[in-house]
Amino acid sequence: MLDVAAAARVSVATVSAVVNGTAVVSPELTARIEEAIRAIGYKRNAVARSLKMGTTRTIGLTVADITNPFFTDVVAAIQEVLHKAGYAVMLCSNDENIEMQDEQIQLLLDRMVDGLIIAPAGDDANLERILSGTNVPAVLIDRICEGVDTDAVVLDNEQGVFDAVTYLLGLGHRRIGYISGPLDTSTGRDRLIGYRRALEAAGGACQETLVRRGDYREAEAYRLAMELLTLPERPTAVFTANNLMVIGVMKALRDLGLSCPEDISVACFDDFPWADVFHPQLTTVAQPVQAIGEHAARLILDRLERKTDGPPRREVLQGRLTVRNSCRPLS
């Protein structure tokens, strides 16, 4: 910029003014400066700007598993809104590892992100402390953490599972296996509550022997499904608390020579874009991924643009039971 100023025989202040359109500069000078910029091949340096301004126009984003299509879709929606607003996003995926998550958040904070969007790996004892050590606004998505009091957008997880399990009960199923998410995640807990509440509402006692605690991943779900499906009194239906785990269940069915929905009915939380073309066409609780991402982005943008200054807001969206044909009525 000094070079440009020298070449155009003006001060850097004037150059800055034309580069940012931040003040009125006479046409002649503007032209001279623009010419000099072209000649020198000047490129603005956003980090110097950030240092001076105290803002980087970038948002840090951590998700538990970018490989999970649910998170992918949410991330895509977030980055689209943010990009339109002139923000970049710095993305970290931590493979459901809380220590790594904390490390990543620190790294993002070091780099002076203007805001943070976090899909936490699980309850995180350090998160509150880390966040309160800064005044960078944060919004939690998907899962919330005990004691972390920030903006958040979550789903009504309990209701989503309640609807699905009630649907299965309506089909005549009484032995409904449940592969849960980890109980140190809010979604894991809330979804399990939905399962229990549905059974209770139907007057059936919850059969804890049919509940298995998974980790939202395929491999462990496979193992748990094998357990469930080889029980002396096998469940007639299995529900998994997320998308990845249903794949594990389907693999178990395949390896056991069972078919869905003939032998076992299957349903899960989270939808797939291909769910209505491949067989069995899965019945799912679809999350409004686009809306989740958009809301999260808006919340952070609101904070940054000082439109909002109040207490934490928590937005709760609803899932939608999407019935296809992976569950059959028990005659």
Applying CB under 7 A, the residues found at the interface with DNA are: 1-2, 9-14, 16-17, 19-20, 22-26, 28-29, 42-45, 48-49, 51-54
User: According to CB under 8 A, which one of 134, 209, 230, 318 is a site residue for a copy of itself?
Assistant: 134
Decide if residue 279 touches a copy of itself (CB under 8 A): yes
d(CA 313, CA 185): 20
For the CB of residue 19, give the shortest distance to DNA in the complex, in Å. Answer: 6
Q: Shortest CA distance to 121 belongs to which of 241, 216, 221, 219?
A: 216
Question: Do 72 and 65 touch, CB atoms closer than 8 A?
Answer: no
Task: Provide the 8-state DSSP code for 29.
Answer: H
User: According to CB under 8 A, which one of 13, 31, 39, 48 is a site residue for a copy of itself?
Assistant: 48
Decide if residue 73 touches a copy of itself (CB under 8 A): yes
- The listed partner (DNA, a copy of itself, none) that binds 53, CB under 5 to 8 Å by sort, is DNA
**CB atoms closer than 10 angstroms to residue 120:** 25
Task: Return the residues of window 3-42 that contact a copy of itself according to CB under 8 A.
Answer: 41
Residue with tokens 């710095």: 90
Distance in Å from the first CA to the final CA of the chain: 79
d(CA 195, CA 166): 9
Q: What is the largest CA-CA distance in the chain?
A: 89
Element (H, E) at 253: helix 243-256
Decide if residue 75 touches a copy of itself (CB under 8 A): yes
Question: Do 153 and 139 touch, CB atoms closer than 8 A?
Answer: yes
For the CB of residue 99, give the shortest distance to DNA in the complex, in Å. Answer: 24
Query: Of 80 and 302, which has the nearer Cβ to a copy of itself?
Result: 80
List residues binding a copy of itself (CB under 8 A). Answer: 41, 43-48, 50-51, 56, 58, 66-67, 69, 72-73, 75-76, 79-80, 83, 88-93, 95, 100, 104, 107-112, 133-134, 218, 247, 250-251, 253-254, 272-274, 276-280
